[in-house]
Structure 1
Amino acid sequence: MSRTSLVDEASAEELALRVLDEGTSVGKAGKYRYQISNSHTGNETVIVFLDTSEEILSYVRVLFLSGGIGISCWILMLFMVMFLSKKAIFPIVENMERQKQFVTNAGHEIKTPLAVILANTEAMELYNGENKWSKNIREQTVRLNGLMKNLLLLAKMDESAAEIIKTEISFSELVSENVRVFAEPLNLRSITLQTEIQPNVIIKANKEQISQLISILLDNASKYTNNRGTVIVRLQKSDKRIKLLIKNSCEKLLDTPPDKLFDRFYRDDKARTQKTGGYGIGLSVARSIVLANKGSITAEYENPNFVSFTVTL
């Protein structure tokens, strides 16, 4: 035995006997790599052991160092992405805020001239009588005024989404009140109104917004229900969820996907929308109200020729 300063001879001999018993010429025993070969004379067997503990330690050091560098680089890149993202997104957010502010300011500025035009038109009709030109001016002024009110409502919803004041309200009473308002106009068109309103349904939401939501959905049903058609209003509470269903019949189902009905200014039939006095914005307002009150709203087409809107709160 030679060069066994790291171990005593007994340990070296024990290790040599163990590797000889394994029957392999090259291998690993613990922290040692070994190789068995014959001497130059061929009469002796030479076993060479190499201590690899430092090699393993080096591997571990490289592994931890690489991991540390990798994590540090990842964290650095994350901070760089966050910093650059803020700089990149800031102009977009600023432009969106300016657009919202512009709609609000423009809406308030336009309301005054519209009121003046309408007042002058009515005064002119008092002196000269109504004619087709004054009638068109009045109708379009009223229409534009309604559009501005809806735009201002949307802008208000966007600006104060996080400032909604919620209280406990009777959903059943709000639905019943709004149904009574629309009952007579529906009756004049021989439209059948079916209601299933579960009593004492209480929700925590913004009363003004929920009332506006119900009014929008009923108004939409009133406008687009065919004469002698059917409007169904159903309110029910199941488990912890409350569902309001407003469904109306129509002459024919639309070809577009139901979800597209909630897009702002979407119109499948422009002539029909003009005739009914719609702005293409009411359902978008309804969706904003529902989302602001932590709910969901969906639209569905049902055979034969029914469109249904379901609000879940």
Structure 2
Amino acid sequence: MFQQLQKSFVKNAMLSFSLVLVIVLVLLNGIYYQQTIEQIDRVATMLIDHNGTFPDAPSTNPPVNFLEELTTLGTEWKKDDQLSTRYAVITFSNQQIQSINRTNLVSVDEEVLKKQTQEIISGNVQSGWIQKLRFRLSKGNEESLLVFVDANKEIQQIKRLLIVSILVFLICLIGIYGLIRFSSKRAIQPFVDNVKKQQQFISNASHEIKTPLAVLSANNDLLAMMGTENRCIDSNRRQIKRLNALVEQMLLLARYDESQSSIVTEKIDLIQISKEIIDDVSPILQEKGLSVQFQGELSCVVNADKSSIQELIRILIDNAMKYTVIDKVITIKVSAGVFCIANQTESMKEEQVNQLFDRFYRVDTSRNRTTGGSGLGLSIAQKIAEINQLELSAELVEQNRIQFIIASKNR
């Protein structure tokens, strides 16, 4: 149980950190990409505003204050920018190309530029991408201008940032996992100590209760042997028997919690075990007018401890026998390797089904007087399933029909 708790803690912590890292890296790459595109578009706009040529370089006077530095950040350009920028300028009129200036973009063939220009002119897009070229279109009354800016260098920078971000993400995940794994035991230790104290308390209390119960039972039997006729003797005998059963269940649950029960796994057939248990309780079934129907596959083989699984199936069948109403049929079905025990019951809500495996939980507390039981049976059954690497769950098929499902965790 504690290992599962530790795994759950590590899993949730890793998911939280991973989500934060992903958001940070997506924002970082997204902002960088957006700023890069805006910078390329500014260059293209500047070329259009100056008829396809770079203007004179602005003044190199430094900003007078921090606010001015922030305002001009990313908008200034130098003479070096003109030499490093690869671009082509196409002029056209009435969708007919007038001139192509690719002096600064010799790597792209002129015919390719013509073809791309025709595609852009025939469309309604003012700016966008054609492969690694960023274009911007300006239409005039007499003459229009189309500028291509080679963004290959910027795209490579974006890719490098993305690769570095992914590497940083993976390195951070490995480091965070190591830290969380190292600190997880310490983080859950207060809870572990509290649970162990509760388990020890239940175990000690159960052992302490057994002694006075044995004395009470012996005294009650002695009174009966002495010929004392009192209806309280029979009542005492029933209550002592009930308390003994409760103590045994609490001890069994404590042993499973502490993983002290010995588990010997072997291949067992849940259908075969169910039939053996039904044969044992057939007199009770007849007395209550109940019947059991088998449906689906003829076997359901799992790798588990036979004695504990027998106890699990016995608990589920006993639960169905106690709470079956109206339709007096208990259905045991196997489909795709999933074992189900279903029966009609009183109307239930989904939230009640989710609490069935809670210790001492009763759907209707008044049932204690008619059906007996302590509310620990299903808790013990789920604990047995856990130690055998099985999943036990409850499902409300209809408002008054419930089924308990046993399935392998590795399916």
Per-residue CA distance 1:208-244 (angstroms, 9 max, x = gap)? 1110010000111111123x64232324252xxx222
> Which sections of structure 2, spanning at least 5 residues, go unmatched?
1-51, 58-77, 85-160
Letter in 1 for 2:199: K
In 1, Cα distance between equivalents of 2:386 and 2:174 = 35
Q: Structure 1 residue aligned with 2:250, among 141, 144, 151?
A: 151
Q: Structure 2 residue aligned with 1:288, among 356, 378, 383?
A: 383
CA contact 1:147–1:279 (8 Å) conserved in 2: yes
The CA deviation at 1:183 is: 2.2
Equivalenced residue count is 257
SS of the residue corresponding to residue 147 of structure 1 reads: helix
Letter in 2 for 1:308: Q
- Identify the range of structure 1 (263-272 vs 298-307) with the bigger mean alpha-carbon deviation: 298-307
TM-score by length of 1: 0.69
The CA deviation at 1:143 is: 0.9
Give the equivalent residue in structure 2 for 1:234.
Answer: 332
Give the equivalent residue in structure 1 for 2:282.
Answer: 183
The CA deviation at 1:124 is: 1.3
The CA deviation at 1:75 is: 10
Give the equivalent residue in structure 1 for 2:347.
Answer: 253
Change (3 A) 1:83 1:274: same
Give the share of equivalent positions with the same residue, in percent.
35
In 1, Cα distance between equivalents of 2:303 and 2:176 = 44
In 2, Cα distance between equivalents of 1:29 and 1:162 = 78
1:215 aligns with 2:314: yes
The CA deviation at 1:276 is: 1.0
Give the equivalent residue in structure 2 for 1:57.
Answer: none
The CA deviation at 1:162 is: 9.5
In 1, Cα distance between equivalents of 2:278 and 2:253 = 24
Give the equivalent residue in structure 2 for 1:277.
Answer: 372
The CA deviation at 1:282 is: 0.7
The CA deviation at 1:72 is: 11
1:25 aligns with 2:88: no
CA contact 2:320–2:330 (8 Å) conserved in 1: no
In 2, Cα distance between equivalents of 1:202 and 1:107 = 35
The CA deviation at 1:295 is: 1.9
Change (3 A) 1:245 1:130: farther
SS of the residue corresponding to residue 218 of structure 2 reads: helix
Q: Structure 2 residue aligned with 1:299, among 389, 394, 402?
A: 394
CA contact 2:315–2:377 (8 Å) conserved in 1: yes
Letter in 1 for 2:365: K
- Identify the range of structure 1 (294-303 vs 138-147) with the bigger mean alpha-carbon deviation: 294-303
1:104 aligns with 2:203: yes
In 2, Cα distance between equivalents of 1:247 and 1:253 = 14
In 2, Cα distance between equivalents of 1:76 and 1:303 = 49
Within 5 Å, give how 1:51-130 maps onto structure 2. 86-87=185-186, 89-130=188-229
- Identify the range of structure 1 (103-112 vs 213-222) with the bigger mean alpha-carbon deviation: 103-112
Change (3 A) 1:122 1:178: same
1:202 aligns with 2:233: no
The CA deviation at 1:207 is: 0.8
RMSD: 3.6
CA contact 1:246–1:310 (8 Å) conserved in 2: yes
In 1, Cα distance between equivalents of 2:261 and 2:251 = 17
The CA deviation at 1:192 is: 2.8
Give the equivalent residue in structure 1 for 2:60.
Answer: none
In 2, Cα distance between equivalents of 1:217 and 1:79 = 42
In 2, Cα distance between equivalents of 1:243 and 1:216 = 18
In 2, Cα distance between equivalents of 1:124 and 1:197 = 54
Letter in 1 for 2:328: T
Give the equivalent residue in structure 1 for 2:157.
Answer: none
> Which sections of structure 1, spanning at least 5 residues, go unmatched?
1-20, 34-62
Per-residue CA distance 1:110-148 (angstroms, 9 max, x = gap)? 223212212221221222345221122111111111111
The CA deviation at 1:30 is: 6.5
Give the equivalent residue in structure 1 for 2:266.
Answer: 167
CA contact 2:300–2:339 (8 Å) conserved in 1: no
Change (3 A) 1:81 1:140: same
Per-residue CA distance 1:228-284 (angstroms, 9 max, x = gap)? 64232324252xxx222111223x312443111111111121121232111011111
In 2, Cα distance between equivalents of 1:131 and 1:223 = 30
CA contact 1:233–1:244 (8 Å) conserved in 2: no
